[in-house]
Every structure is written in structure tokens, then in C-alpha cells.
Amino acid sequence: MVLAELGGKLRDSLRKLHTRSGRVTTTQLNSVLSDVARALIESDVSVKLVMTLRDNVKQKVERLIEEDDDDNDDDNDNDAKKEQRASNVSKMVQKAVVDELTSLLEPARKPHTMKRGKPNVILFVGLQGAGKTTTIAKYANYYQKRGWKTAMVCADTFRAGAFDQLKQNATKLRVPFYGSYTQADPVAIAEEGVDQFIKEHYEVIIVDTSGRHRQEAGLLEEMQEISAAVDPDNVILVMDATQGQSLYDQALAFSNAVDVGSVVITKLDGHAKGGGALSAVAATESPIVFLGSGEHFDDLEPFNAQSFVSKLLGLGDVRGLMEAMNGAGPDGKTHEELMEKMSKGEFTLRDMYSQFQRVMNMGPLNKVMGMVPGMPEYLVPKGGDDNSNTRLKKFLYMMDSMTDKELDGKVDFSDHDDAPIQSRIRRIAAGSGTHPKEVQMLLQVHKQFEGMVNKMGKSGMMGKQAQAQQQQMVAQMRKNPNFINQRLNQMDPKMLAQMGGREQVKQQMEAMA
Ligand SMILES: Nc1nc2c(ncn2[C@@H]2O[C@H](COP(=O)(O)OP(=O)(O)OP(=O)(O)O)[C@@H](O)[C@H]2O)c(=O)[nH]1
């Protein structure tokens, strides 16, 4: 997603607010808001929406500035105070923009909640090529993995090959499907398929419909007929993010024809600027539920408005990163529990397994890196980093083939030449379909990690003490607005440069506070 550019432009215009007096005139504020509006339009947010957003932000900021001025009506402010006030104003504007964008993405209508043990009929609509069929496979995969009895119906009789595509995906996912090569009436197919799966007690019944190149009347009528026939619990509109400004009209046409309950935005992994997603929500007044970020079945991310806006503005997604890191690992251990163990210098193969799983659950490395604030776009690997993921997966397969004793550090693998150890390595390789040399590599990687954890544990860089220090720092940052600048002044400039420069480190610290 080409989003960071918008963040850069926004930050540049906010700098204009750093006036010498620390006070902001209406002209200055208007000029900044025009910049912000231009940047949003260039990022494909619809013009109408940007205008409303600009007015809302303006009203909010003017009110806040007034309150701030009432509190600080002393004209003889010293420079530090002026600097502080200017910085407050730019934070106010930034916060108002973030809040406005986030609330736009959180419409009053809540997403449909799936009901266990009942049929949930989900109708997918969208233009041809938006990514409907692919998204349906990802959606089925998502629910099936979470234990829902899932099935698919192909009511796309318009595009030759649509049924074959759905069938292929369904077979790969081992999801039952319904469709026909001979029946030309999509309404009849949809009705028959849904009826059959309801009788068979399926819980998530997904219906694929035809797309057209444009929102023609014929297509929209067909949607209405299918919708009337299957009476869906939710209609999901799939939209291609690369369509930019036209998404607003597209979304409006669909939501006028059928009761669109949720939106999925696809192809955000490519060159889409992302702003069109906001337009789609505004037009349908329905929430985005997932984002499509690639062509694989796993490339479907549950949507979170705050994280999306942070990324849209190039502020990074610290929240998403923290949530992903702090969630329980596959062994049920939380990040904190593991850190506590590591602070004692302990790190078994099972712990490494848990860490690798956690990284895998966070998605491919390029997505994880994309969450880091200020991470330059060129450093984020493009087009999926299949190599590193495949490597990690292989390591997991090897550890899956280990015994509890091996995983829990009760077997000493250090002597590779020892015959019983060699036999264990051969057994693990055979069990995981890998080569013994690869198992040795895994053991070597574990040794390195273990050594590192050991050193860090002894140095007190982990565990409760270090955590307490970090919490103290965050508390200071919140209490004293100058704390970050003071800290940065104390840091070695060379080290700052290595960490990406003062501005970048500052942003990261601000995001923590
Ligand atoms: N990069 C990327 N490609 C995607 C994504 N979702 C779908 N695609 C690709 O977009 C193309 C069109 O996807 P389909 O699923 O066939 O489109 P459709 O909306 O079902 O099209 P019709 O059935 O003709 O209406 C395919 O090449 C997909 O692989 C995504 O999130 N990222």
C-alpha cells in the first residue's frame, strides 16, 4: 500500500504550525488544512468526503485552540513555552485528523455477527475482477480454520470459468461447494445451493455472484433477485482498492441496489493508495470487515480502523504490533510469561517454536515490518516474503517432529557426532520431510538464540525490572511533554542516526506514549 507518502505530506504541512509566537492564525490553519485535504484527495479519498472532514477538523481544532489560548493568555511566554504551544497545536490537528478518519471508518452499523449452530448465509457482490472469488476462498478458509462448518455456492454464470475457479479453491481448502455447468439461471443455482447446505446444517454458506465491468442495471437487478431468493444474513461488497476515486460511486450503486452490510477491500498489497476504502465506507455506511493483502488464502486481515488510519498516515501501527506481540502464543503462554522465563536465561526449543509461531501468526514479515512506525517503504520487502516464511514453516515442521523431552531441553544436542544424537536428527528429518543438515541448521539457530537469551537474561535487559523501567519512561513522557526532546538530546547522535534519525525515533517514542 502506498500510504506513507500521505503521512509525510501531513507531517510537512503540520510543521508550518510551528510559528515563532506559538499562536496559530486562521490563515495558517486554513493553509494547513488545505494541504491535508489535497494529500487526502491524492490518496484517493473522495473529494466530497474530504471537504466534510476538513470542516469537522477545522471546527474541532478552532475550539481546542480557543481553550488552549484561554489557559495561556500570557504574552510574555518564554521560547520553551512557545515551542511547547506550537507543538501542542500540531498534535491537536494531527489527532483531530486521525479521529475524524477513524470515526469515518467506524460507521454506526455494526458488522454481522456469525451465529454458531445456525446457517449464516453470506452473499458476496462486486464488480468483475474486484477479487470476489479469491476473497470468498480466503473467507471460507478463515472461518473453516476457526471451526465453522463452511460451504460455497457459485452463482456466477456470467464469467466462463468462474465455477471452475471456485471449485478449484474449494477443493484445495476441502470445503464443499455447489454449482452447475448446465444451469444458466444464477437465481435458481443460488437458491438450490443454499437450500442444500442449510439442510446439511452448514454454518457459513457463502454465495459467489457475477460481476460486470461496470455497475450495469442488469448486474444490479441480478443481485436483487439473488438476494431476494436466498435472503442473506449479510451482503459483503468486495472492492478493489486500486480503483481509487471511483470506489465511492461504485459502492453507492451497489448499496442502493442491495442491503450491503459489510465491505472487503482487496489488493491493498499493491500500489493502491488506500484512501478509496474510506469512500466505500462513507457510501455504504457499512463497516469494512477484512482487507485483502495478497493472492494467497491466508492474505486476509481482519480490519481495525485505528490501525488502518495510523498506516494511512504513515504513523505506523504500534497498536497492531503490540497486540500481535502480546497475544498468547500457541502454547498459551503470554509474551510476558515467556519474557520472564527468558530473563532467567532459559530458552528451550519449545520456546523457540512458540516465538516462531507468534511471528507466523502476525503474517508475513513484510506485513510485520509495515507496522513499524516510520519504516521506510523501500525497506519493507515487496510481494510477500515467501522465502523467509517457508524457512520458518520448515523449522516448525521439524520441531513438530520432536519429542517433548527434546523440545523441553532435556536432550543435549550439542554433540552432533554422537551416534544416538545423529539417530535423533535423522528421525526428526524423516518425520518433517527435511534433510538432516537442515535439522542441524535449526539446532544451530537455537543454540545462537539460547546464547543470546542467556546473555540478555544475565544483563537484566529482560523481565519485570526492564519492563518496569519502560513503563516509568512512558509515564514520564505523558507527564512531561518535553521529556522526549530531553531524552533525544542526551542520546549519542551517531546512535540516533543508526536508528533512522532524530525525527523517526521521536515519532516512535510519541507513538509509545
Ligand atoms: N494482489 C492481490 N491480488 C488479488 C487480491 N484479491 C484478488 N486478487 C487477484 O485479482 C484477480 C481477480 O480476482 P477474482 O477473484 O477472480 O475476481 P472476481 O471479482 O471474482 O471476478 P469475477 O468473478 O469476474 O467477478 C485475480 O488475479 C486475483 O488473484 C488481493 O488482495 N491482492
* Model pLDDT for residues 229-276, shown as the tens digit of each residue: 999 999 999 999 888 778 888 888 898 889 999 999 998 876 666 777
Task: Decide whether any atom of ligand 1 lies within 6 Å of the 240 Cβ.
Answer: no
Q: Which of 168, 295, 296 to mutate to test the pocket of ligand 1 (most atoms within 8 A of CB)?
A: 295
- Looking at domain 318-459, its CATH class is mainly alpha
Dihedral sign of CA atoms 317, 318, 320, 324 in order:
positive
457/122: higher pLDDT: 122
How far is Cα 28 from Cα 371, in angstroms, rounded to an integer?
32
Among residues 252, 255, 263, 306, the alpha carbon closest in space to that of 288 is found at 263
Here the ipTM equals: 0.96
Find the radius of gyration of the CA atoms of the chain.
27
Looking from the CA of residue 162, the nearest atom of ligand 1 is 23
Task: Give 191's pLDDT tier (boundaries 50, 70, 90).
Answer: very high
Task: Decide whether any atom of ligand 1 lies within 6 Å of the 133 Cβ.
Answer: yes
Kindly give the distance from the C-alpha atom of residue 373 to the centroid of ligand 1, in angstroms, as a whole number. 29
Task: Decide whether any atom of ligand 1 lies within 6 Å of the 94 Cβ.
Answer: no
Least confident of 106-110, 399-403, 462-466, 507-511: 462-466
What's the CATH code, domain 4-104? 1.20.120.140
Phi, psi of 93 (to 5 degrees): -65, -45
Task: Decide whether any atom of ligand 1 lies within 6 Å of the 298 Cβ.
Answer: no
Cα distances (Å, whole numbers) of residue 30 to 34, 93, 149? 6, 11, 54
Cβ atoms of 460 and 466 closer than 8 Å? yes
Q: What is the pLDDT of residues 450-496, one digit of tens each?
A: 877 777 666 555 556 656 666 677 777 767 777 778 878 877 776 66
Which of these CATH numbers, 3.40.50.300, 3.40.50.700, 3.40.50.2000, 3.90.1280.10, describes 120-312? 3.40.50.300
Q: Which of 134, 172, 263, 264 to mutate to test the pocket of ligand 1 (most atoms within 8 A of CB)?
A: 134
Among residues 363, 300, 302, the alpha carbon closest in space to that of 137 is found at 300
Phi, psi of 86 (to 5 degrees): -60, -40
Q: What is the pLDDT of residues 297-353, one digit of tens each?
A: 888 888 888 777 776 665 554 444 445 455 544 455 566 676 677 777 788 888 877
Phi, psi of 433 (to 5 degrees): 65, 35
How far is Cα 177 from Cα 168, in angstroms, rounded to an integer?
10
Looking from the CA of residue 266, the nearest atom of ligand 1 is 31
Cβ atoms of 194 and 153 closer than 8 Å? yes
Kindly give the distance from the C-alpha atom of residue 295 to the centroid of ligand 1, in angstroms, as a whole number. 8
Task: Decide whether any atom of ligand 1 lies within 6 Å of the 463 Cβ.
Answer: no
Neighbours of 308 (CB within 10 A): 25
Cβ atoms of 407 and 350 closer than 8 Å? yes
Task: Decide whether any atom of ligand 1 lies within 6 Å of the 295 Cβ.
Answer: yes
CA-proximal residue: ligand 1, atom 9 (nearest):
131
Phi, psi of 259 (to 5 degrees): -85, 80
Task: Decide whether any atom of ligand 1 lies within 6 Å of the 406 Cβ.
Answer: no
Residue 60 has pLDDT above 90, yes or no: no
Task: Decide whether any atom of ligand 1 lies within 6 Å of the 211 Cβ.
Answer: yes
How far is Cα 284 from Cα 257, in angstroms, rounded to an integer?
11
Cβ atoms of 82 and 260 closer than 8 Å? no
Kindly give the distance from the C-alpha atom of residue 139 to the centroid of ligand 1, in angstroms, as a whole number. 13
Kindly give the distance from the C-alpha atom of residue 290 to the centroid of ligand 1, in angstroms, as a whole number. 15
Q: Where are the domains of the chain?
A: 4-104, 120-312, 318-459
Task: Decide whether any atom of ligand 1 lies within 6 Å of the 186 Cβ.
Answer: no
Task: Name the grid cell of 218.
Answer: 442488469
Task: Decide whether any atom of ligand 1 lies within 6 Å of the 85 Cβ.
Answer: no
pLDDT of residue 374: 44
Model pTM above 0.80: no
Looking from the CA of residue 159, the nearest atom of ligand 1 is 24
Kindly give the distance from the C-alpha atom of residue 175 to the centroid of ligand 1, in angstroms, as a whole number. 19
How far is Cα 484 from Cα 506, in angstroms, rounded to an integer?
7
